[in-house]
Structure 1
Amino acid sequence: MDLHEVCDLIVDCEHKTAPTQAEGYPSIRTPNIGRGYFLLDGVNRVSEETYRSWTRRAEPKPGDLIMAREAPVGNVAMVPAGLRPCLGQRTLLIRPMRSKVFPRYLAYLLIGDQIQNIIHAMTNGVTVPHLNMKDVRSLPLPPLPPLPTQRKIAAILSAYDDLIENNLRRIKILEEMAQNLYREWFVKFRFPGWEKARFVDSPLGKIPEEWEVTTINKVTSYINRGVTPKYDASASSLVVNQKCIRDRKLNLSLARQHKSRVMDDKYVVFGDILINSTGVGTLGRVAQVYEDLNDVTVDTHVSIVRPSNGDGIDFLGLALIDLEPHFESLGAGATGQTELRRDRIGETEIVLPPVKMRKQFSEKVTSLRKLVLNLAARNETLRRTRDLLLPKLISGEVDVSELDIAIPEEAA
């Protein structure tokens, strides 16, 4: 059985870039498609007119699947109720035939090892891995279980995804709370006791009298790039690359193993601030190391910025995260070779509050930031468990046909 035999539609995207705007309908490109879910932070938005034009072939509906035709090739996510996306470049729309296959089950089937191995075999050896529409339509599927069993399998796996999604929402709220508190105290100057503060002139405008304007150089002990890695899948050491730094977070699951020689200063430690320093689109992204790591460094496209004392770790980390647009603007060089030099990072001016206030700020945000790490670790465990269970359920190794499973009503 091929994929097209269980689908009402398999539709390609428009082969041109949609004009974007600040608000509007989400335009789903390949970076927005994860393994079973959409990554909508920073998604491109389009107007009503563009949406109508880009959905002439088919308007995505709840329960439809959107697949990435290029890197990350083969990723699939299901359109949830309430989302009205259009297809960006190098994506395609799959509309399951509901009399034959339950949409969410098909999504899990397509991201499972069996189908993913077929997809990767189709694209192996190609300079830019790419799925042709013909290959997608003729994608071979294993025999499908009865629809009630499909729904049970989907319900089990969805329970993990629902927990993950709930934790992601909590993480977003906690991160916003910490960043908003930083802005309230150190940008808007609405810190405890601000009503009695006297403000004076400074190179950065009016600031509280006991505060000072300084540079990042003066509050850090180390600013430098990382190593040129020699990748080795058998090594235990990790090297962080620019893909690991996104949405103000450090994602070590995208780090690679290596066996390069590393000077002591280039091992990342708790409190280090990492800044992407090469290339338009990635340059300027910031994340802070907020856990103790062992044998982890960064490559030459990432800068390490190390606070000079412990009392300013939270303040400086959130200050530099808030400066992402500034760092992005500091890139210099030819297109494709844009670089953020360490001297330009170091010369950046910031407003520095007194030590007592930096400590007081840390007391407020440390618990929030630690809870973010805790929730992220829980999600990693949930993903691993789900991914171990997925092939066993899809293959029938774990038989759920006779289980009494409550299946929630949903649009799909």
Structure 2
Amino acid sequence: MTGKGERRRAPYRRRLRSRIIVSFVLLGFCLTTLFAFATNWARARVENQLVEDVMNRNIDEFARRFYESPGRNPAVPVQQIRAFAYPSDKFDRVREERPEWAAFATGNYKLSGVDEHNEPFSYKLAVRKAPDAWFFLAYDMTESIRGEEQLKRALFFSVLVFSALSLVLGWWSASKVMKPVSDLAARLRAYRGGTSEPEPLAPRFPDDEVGQLAQALDDYSSRLTEVVQRDREFNADVSHELRTPLAVIRGATELLLTRPDLDPKVLQRLQRIQRAEQQCTDLIGALLLLSRNERGQGSSNVARVSEQLLDSHRAQLGGKPLELILEGNHDLVIDAPESALSVALGNLIGNAVKYSKEGAVRVRVGNNAVEVIDSGPGLSEEDAAKLFQRGYRGTHAGHSQGGGIGLSIVSRLCDLYGWQVNVRPGAGRGVIATLTFSPA
């Protein structure tokens, strides 16, 4: 687990521009498809009504002419229509030659299929049956079916063309609609903070929804800048007011330590006061840097700072059977002030000493990192997941003092300086905390 934690990738979200384009395409596709379906349905309905009307008029005319001259088969005025008339003495012939026709009652029917030459056919059949004669009128639908197929192909390509036009229109509209939003986002990204106040956004945009958003962002930025300014002033004031009494304590302690006739117990107390004053000074400096979000200047020898921290804890062990050991590279120097390194490393060493009842706490300095290895009770899964959260106290904290903000400060210092902190269970027991520094 790292101090700042691994940032989970946010779930993919479709951009607003893409949603607008997809909406246009879906709208165009749905409307053109609906129009194509309605057109084909209306064509089929109108054509069916017209064909049946023509057939009904022609079969009635055909029957009238047949009764005027029963001896001959009258002609039909429409070329696509073939008419047949069978008197009562030829009913059996119809049943033999055209059984499907003979089975129909008076009305209009549609027939389709494949003939004996394996050629498709389609026609409409009008049937009029009287006691003395049967009349059949067949209307060839081949040309109509060919036209229907051509119309369907035309409608299909129309759907594709209008969908493509919808895509182009959606792309253009999305670009026009989203350009002010993109400009606003670009201006927000361009401003990275600093000492100067940000330039107002609202005057650069028209008085529309984007302009209202820019105005709201300006108002929010103004209030946020005011809060940050008050926070910085407060931190500076607190730092100044705290450093003044600490400077008095430091001067008084140094003056008392120069006396040669000090009692050993008094000397021990004075040295403890001196170390506590130095820790407070380092902590104030580190917190002030965090509040300003700026790196301090300077360089630090990791081994020397570690030895100072271990000496400070040795003086506070009392009768605790715990050995504090410094190992490894004594020449590692990092680009950071000693106050920041002392706070970060001091919290790791302090936790190791606090939770180790016996055994040893080893501080091992490597080429670009330092490890703090303790012999404490170890690390639970819950602690590993929440260890660097502000205010969280581990399961082994018990009634010990502390507000659960030490490792949170370590994590923030790592973010500021580009370091990495990792805490993992040891091989047998205990915890290994690793502080990795950024390359020079």
Q: Give the TM bin, normalised by the shorter chain.
A: under 0.3
Flag the structure with higher helix content: 2
Query: Could you tell me the TM-score, scaled by structure 1's length?
Result: 0.23
Q: Which has the larger radius of gyration?
A: 2
Query: Could you tell me the TM-score, scaled by structure 2's length?
Result: 0.21
Structure scoring higher RCO (CA < 8 A, sep ≥ 6) equals 1
